[in-house]
Chains A and B, each alone.
Chain A
Amino acid sequence: MDINESLQRAEQILSTWAPVALHPSPERVDVSLPDKWLKAAVLALRDAKWGYLSAITGMDHPGTVEPVTEEQRWQRLENEGENATGGESREGTLEVLYHFCEGAAVLTLRVSVRYSFPVLPSICGIIPAATLYERELSEMFGIRLVGTPNVDKLLLPDDWPDGVFPLRKSFHGLTEVEKSGPEVKK
């Protein structure tokens, strides 16, 4: 099937939820969605038999932290002069990319969640094969998927500490305390 035809059909199917579509390259179309419409959009794609779910990618976008001490604030004023914004902080977000493929065409649904509320609806009810991708996503990025059938560990060790997500940018290895968790018997 023609690539452009596939991409146009995808845009048409999704136009109800996301009027703006981006074309990062000729064979791709990217659509950003609010999380509440994710399931509806996936269902519409399935009903229209558009392609198959190829992968789910997680991405971490750490936020900027407001300077905490008086000294840091002064430092900032000195560095940025009059343009200093007065220490705005931006909360980090986690972005999830659902890649669908049909022939050579690749459609990406992009959904973002905030660090403080990293929750997304599961799409396993619509696409059963997504369960392994969702388990990987929640382990590596700490996103809670509501309604996913299995939340057991898939890839990380059984004694991996709770609340540590290795693919977040802030992860640089386990601390000694985390390594020798309470279960370890000497």
Chain B
Amino acid sequence: MSVERRRGEMVEWRPLPGPERPDTVDVNLLSFSARVTSNSPRILRGLLSLYPTATPASGGMPSVSALRLGIVKAGAEGRCDAYRLYRSGRQIDACSTALRAIAGLEYLIDTAAIVSLGRYVLVHAGAVAAGTGGIVLPAASGAGKSTLVAALCLSGFRYLSDELAVLDGETDTVHPFAKAICLKSGGWRVMNAAFDLPAVPFALTRCNGRSARFLEAPAVSAPRHPVRVRYVLLPTRQAGRPATLAPTSRAGALAELARHSLNLPRHRHVGLEILARLVEGAACYTLTYDDVRAATAAVTALVGS
């Protein structure tokens, strides 16, 4: 695999498909679905950019369990209630700008999806695929997961998720949970120095108050099906360190997966068993690096070896 520049895969806004403007978008993340209705094309374009699996609604009824959200543009951009946010027909918030409204939608959709996907073991991790195997990269928020995942995807790996590994205990696989890749300011600087990125990405101030730029996920190359986990890599970014992959114990990797799990308490000992089987079927390494391209090269060499 070689490092390629794929400017064409990253666009600021995903265009609305079709000759007519849809007013409703369905967001599907595995078995979770949300239907979002809005009179603002900007809002819907934002959702389509954030969620590569989102599609304009075909006109049918949403599933009974679907989260139903609405955004009504009721005034000029900048007014405190320019965008009114509704859930199941009831107003729950108001925002001054379209980007704030999109950030609110993202928060509502993601939290509902995480609750809805509770039958899986969910781990705060990046995930990519190479061939028929998956690579899971558990790490804390701010550790550089998204940056590494973005760099790997720009180097030929296929995209599963930059923040959530959805682990299926029945098949010992990781499912795609594809959203636009979220780069915080540090990650954006690193990626901009290493790759040819779009000058003006899709940017939001998220509900946690932190600003983020989004690279549209390379949806074309994203697997639609779950893949078996072949590697668990524990990434640590350290200034001045060469990119090094070192074998680590499967038990230690299990502990890291457990540490970053979002819902292990729900699964209790069964969750531990799922994680144990997963690491037993995978090769486990620590990945220490400073330069993201060198890290990508090291992972490429590992997978290719």
Do they bind each other?
Answer: no
Binding site for B on A (CB under 8 A): none
